[in-house]
Amino acid sequence: MADRIVVVTGGARGIGRAIVDRFAADGATVVIGDLTDPGEVGAGLDVAGHREWVPLDVTDETSVLEFAQSVEAGHGGVDVLVNNAGIMAERSITEESLAEWDLTMAVNLRGPFLMAKHLVPLMEGREGASIINMGSIEGLAANRHHAAYCASKGGVHALTRALAVDLGPIGIRCNAIAPGWIDTDLNRSYIERHPDREQVVADLARLHPVARIGDPADIAATACWLASADAGFVTGQVIQVEGGRTVRLSLPTALEP
């Protein structure tokens, strides 16, 4: 990834931060677009590349435009755009407010649209350019009370295919990663609110053929592969990185072997 300019939205923490660190370790210059300053972006890892933060609210077109101008002024272009920023709320459909529905759509789906709209001009003509959108296995199936999140991630998967078709002729690939259960703040609250945390972690692991939940580094490794020349013939795909969770059929506990 040496000499490559990589933009990661929501790169201050969680999966985004692991992607930032992985690309930087592989030698890229990484621009973190996030609401808040992650602070020690230069510290913590012995990386070959460079990391910096530029303020960004992916829901706001003015913010996205200013971000694009800043990246263009600082680096002249972009090779890889990772649309990772995302939010989730747990509500039944009757409890879901219009404001919360709209915010989920704005961050998870409008964000990748605005970022593609304003960063594609910086990616045109750069060999091996690609966009990676963060989808979810909840764009393919649903947990209860996740209607807005599931709808937004289904939209991300469809946007990915549409961008692959539109941008392929100008040399930009577009793929999505659909993570399963990854250990980040986004879903840690589910585990923390249960009195027997260890039991929940053990039960979660049992849902996965690989017998564990995911680590942000699992997603970062896939993002790096999708951005590499090794994935040069891969576009329009939704790559599930979920430890086999969606291929394991569930049984009542009493019937589990």
Smallest distance from ligand NDP to CB 197, Å: 17
The strand pairing partners of 130, in sequence order, are 80, 173
Cα angle value 76/34/55 (rounded, 5°): 60
Which one, of 48, 55, 52, 53, lies nearest residue 28 by Cα?
48
Does residue 13 bind ligand NDP (CB under 6 A)?
yes
Smallest distance from ligand NDP to CB 169, Å: 28
**25, 87, 142, 191: which one contacts ligand NDP (CB under 6 A)?**
87
Strand (E) or helix (H) holding 157? helix 147-167
**67, 79, 84, 116: which one contacts ligand NDP (CB under 6 A)?**
84
For 235, other C-beta atoms within 10 Å of its C-beta total: 20
Cα separation of the two ends of the chain: 46
Does residue 16 bind ligand NDP (CB under 6 A)?
yes
Active site residue 149: yes
Q: Take residue 3 and report the two structure tokens written for it.
A: 């000499």
Stretch binding ligand NDP (CB under 6 A), from 8-16, 46-54, 118-126, 197-205: 8-16
Of the pair 109, 164, the CB lying nearest ligand NDP is at 109
Which one, of 39, 48, 60, lies nearest residue 21 by Cα?
48
Total of chain residues touching ligand NDP, rule CB under 6 A: 29
Smallest distance from ligand NDP to CB 7, Å: 11
Point out the residues that are catalytic: 149
